[in-house]
Structure 1
Amino acid sequence: MTIGDRIKQRRLELDLSVDDLAGRLGKNRATVYRYESNDIENLPITLMSTLAKALNTTPAFLMGWECDEPSQNKITDLSNQTIRLINDNIEKLNNNGQKKLLDYSEILVGNPDYVEDSTPILNAAHARTDIKQTPEGKAHDDAIMMDPKEWE
Structure 2
Amino acid sequence: MDNESNIEIGKRLFNARKSKDLTRAELGKLLGLHETTVKRYEDGEIKSLSIEKLKEFAEALDVKPTYLIGWDSVENDKNKILTNEESTLLHKYRKLDGKGKHTVNTVLDMEYSRCNNVLLAAHEKEDVNKKSPTYEEDYKHDLDIMMDDNEWK
TM-score, normalization by structure 1: 0.48
User: Which one has the largest radius of gyration?
Assistant: 1
TM-score, normalization by structure 2: 0.48
Q: Counting helix residues as a fraction of each chain, which structure ranks higher?
A: 2
